[in-house]
Amino acid sequence: MDLEDSKIIELFFERSEQAIIELSDKYGKRCTAIASNILNDLRDAEECVNDAYLAVWNSVPPEKPNPLLTYLCKIVRNLAIKRYRANTAKKRNSHYDIAFDELCEALKSKENIETELEEKRLSAAINGFLESLDKENRIIFVRRYYFSESISDIALLLGISNHAVSVKLSRLRERLKKYLTKEGFIL
């Protein structure tokens, strides 16, 4: 039986190694899937997940993340992207690149967004866009463009066809373009 997140965090505060075991038992498969979707290499994915556990160990305490899964997934994703960039400095990994390229195509800007303020404004606008979506479309968007899941995995999860997911993603990218234009971004 999985421990509640609050109990796992208590174990981290007690500096008990059991915290890592419980974290791994509860969220290990999810984290490995996220890293694998980005890296397309199980060994690298497992290393990223282990590095993420160490990062959580080093940050809790003083941090008290809530929700714990989101905190952990963000660390795993960032580590996997860092590893991906190092691994593919001269070559391309089609699975992650396709998802990233799809999103970039929707967000191409005539001017580079260089300042941190503009990046925060863009982030806030994308979050606003996500809040405007119904649950299914939000799940599709986040799973594809944040967790880099394949179209077939998303279709299987939602019980719809691959074509339906592809069409929804295309429409979501178009809606995102319109939303960002309305928010004052030049695309």
3-state SS of 4-27 is: CHHHHHHHHHCCCCHHHHHHHHHH
pLDDT by residue (tens digit) across 32-70? 999 999 998 999 999 999 999 999 999 999 999 999 999
Q: Residues spanned by CATH 1.10.1740.10 within the chain?
A: 5-87
CA-wise closest residue to 125 among 107, 110, 140, 148: 107
Residue pair 37/95 in contact by the 8 Å Cβ criterion: yes
pLDDT by residue (tens digit) across 9-27? 999 999 999 999 999 999 9
Helices (H), 40-149: 42-59, 68-87, 94-107, 116-132, 135-145
The structure tokens listed for 187 are 């695309």
Identify the CATH class of 5-87. Answer: mainly alpha
- Please report which confidence band the pLDDT of residue 115 belongs to, taking 50, 70 and 90 as the band edges: low
CA-wise closest residue to 38 among 72, 71, 87, 89: 87
Question: What is the pLDDT at residue 113?
Answer: 42
Find out if CATH 1.10.10.10 is the number for domain 94-182: yes
Predicted TM-score (pTM) of this structure: 0.69
Q: Which residues have C-beta within 8 Å of that of residue 99, sequence separation ≥ 6?
A: 144, 145, 148
Q: How far apart are CA 35 and CA 50, in angstroms?
A: 11
Q: Residues spanned by CATH 1.10.10.10 within the chain?
A: 94-182
